Amino acid sequence: MSALFTPLVMRSLDIRNRVWMAPMCQYSAPVGGERTGAPGDWHFTHLSTRAVGGAGLIMTEGTAVTAAGRITPADLGLWNDTQQAAFQRIAQGLRALGSVPAIQLTHAGRKASTARPWDGGTPLPPEYGGWRPMGPSPLPYGPGHLVPDELTVPEIRRIVGDFARAARRALDAGFQVVEVHGAHGYLIHQFLSPYTNRRGDQYGGSFSNRIRFALEVVDAVRSVWPDDLPVFFRASATDWLERPTAEGPGSGWEVEDTVRLSVELMDHGVDLLDISSGGVAPGIRKPVAPGYQVPFATAVRHKAGAPVSAVGLITDPHQAEHIVATGQADAVMLGRELLRDPYWPHRAARELDADHTWPKPYEMAHP
């Protein structure tokens, strides 16, 4: 029996396999008007195609909990009724196709207000359609980026509430998993890492202070999320900042910090850690290779005792099978590989001789 195609039970959910779609920003939401931030036909087709393709869980791209939390003006958001209604169509469609609909909630913090990647990805000041970014400390992401406004304690608490309200909307739209985005240099990660968090109050300095915002967000989300449905947390296991940089001290967030955080997160109701890396500083070179981030997930799984998903250049069915079968991770998240091949799960099942079936209308092509 294939480990990759063994169902995974999480709370009340029975996820049909361990091949999951990673969140990938599409930067394709409407800009301006009442449908700003709402998913459209592109998102519906993009996500439902991967459900037809056999992925057990489909994670939406990072969805901002407030307008100021978007990376670009074309990001998805979930702070109003129009957006919620558009997401309902997607969640219902994914469930009808046999996949678990999951949504990733995020706030970009100091990395907010930029142009789309194919438009240069440059910072957008307010006079060019952008807005003022915010962060734990007034430190810009990189050269040319706006200096973010340092968040006050009341503003931090308001953002915690924004996450809870977005989670409630996600539940009402029909999603069965919510993921808190605490990775890739976005706001929660900015509070976690000493590289970006230079605060002197209860949200900065010590490890327990720097994780406070993350735990408050998780508590707020869990307070509105049913006990029988899972909450995930995406973490960057390391900042890849082993040496001092020109911008500041080299000390950043590391694997052992992620292990410690994972223990705390599980105590606060998180069911799975979605492990990635990097993103808090520009210009970092990673030792990219097939499965290069899997050891981070394995460390969290073994040292913290947490269920984990692994991501990062997982492209081959036998590679993915080995990761799950040997206990390195409980599931694999596929990103770019599913962009190239939406039907990768079906192909993988065939290569692994797994007990898995194609949709009935497609069986004639795959005897």
Percent of the chain clearing pLDDT 70 (strictly above): 97
What confidence category does residue 250 fall into, taking pLDDT thresholds of 50, 70 and 90?
A: very low
Task: Give the number of other CB atoms < 10 A from CB of residue 230.
Answer: 23
Look-up: residue for tokens 């990768």?
A: 344
Bridge partners for 297 per DSSP:
none
Question: What SS3 state is found at 310?
Answer: strand
pLDDT of residue 149: 97
Q: What is the mean pLDDT of the chain?
A: 94
User: Is the pLDDT score of 249 beyond 60?
Assistant: no
What confidence category does residue 363 fall into, taking pLDDT thresholds of 50, 70 and 90?
A: confident
Can you tell me the mean pLDDT for 82-89? 98
Return the minimum-mean-pLDDT range out of 53-67, 89-103, 137-151, 239-253. 239-253
Percent of the chain clearing pLDDT 90 (strictly above): 90
216/156 Cα distance (integer angstroms): 10
Residue 224 or residue 362, greater confidence: 224
Asked if 347 and 4 count as a contact pair (C-beta separation under 8 A), the reply is no
Provide the 8-state DSSP code for 280. Answer: S
What confidence category does residue 284 fall into, taking pLDDT thresholds of 50, 70 and 90?
A: confident
Can you tell me the mean pLDDT for 99-127? 96
For the CA atoms of 79, 111, 44, 14, the dihedral, rounded to the nearest 10 degrees, stands at -80
Asked if 110 and 190 count as a contact pair (C-beta separation under 8 A), the reply is yes
For the chain, give the longest Cα–Cα distance: 64
Return the minimum-mean-pLDDT range out of 131-145, 221-235, 248-262. 248-262
Question: Which pairs count as long-range contacts for 8-13, CB under 8 Å and 24+ apart, including other chains?
Answer: 8/56, 8/330, 8/331, 10/177, 10/230, 10/271, 10/272, 10/307, 11/227, 11/228, 11/229, 11/230, 11/271, 12/228, 12/229, 13/100, 13/176, 13/177, 13/229, 13/230
Can you tell me the mean pLDDT for 164-190? 98
pLDDT of residue 48: 97
pLDDT of residue 245: 47
User: Is the pLDDT score of 367 beyond 70?
Assistant: no
46/200 Cα distance (integer angstroms): 44
Active site residue ranges = 186
270/230 Cα distance (integer angstroms): 7
pLDDT of residue 215: 98
pLDDT tens track for 193-210: 999 999 999 999 999 999
Task: Give the number of other CB atoms < 10 A from CB of residue 112.
Answer: 30
- In the chain, what are the domains? 8-365 (3.20.20.70)
60/105 Cα distance (integer angstroms): 9
What confidence category does residue 244 fall into, taking pLDDT thresholds of 50, 70 and 90?
A: very low
User: Is the pLDDT score of 93 beyond 90?
Assistant: yes
Can you tell me the mean pLDDT for 150-167? 98
Bridge partners for 64 per DSSP:
77, 106
User: Is the pLDDT score of 67 beyond 90?
Assistant: yes
User: Is the pLDDT score of 243 beyond 70?
Assistant: no
Return the H-helix or E-strand segment holding 49: helix 41-52
pLDDT of residue 183: 98
- Report the alpha-carbon angle 348-353-356, nearest 5: 70
Is the Cα dihedral 16, 21, 23, 26 positive or negative?
Answer: negative
Asked if 241 and 250 count as a contact pair (C-beta separation under 8 A), the reply is yes
pLDDT of residue 242: 67
For the CA atoms of 300, 304, 307, 310, the dihedral, rounded to the nearest 10 degrees, stands at 0
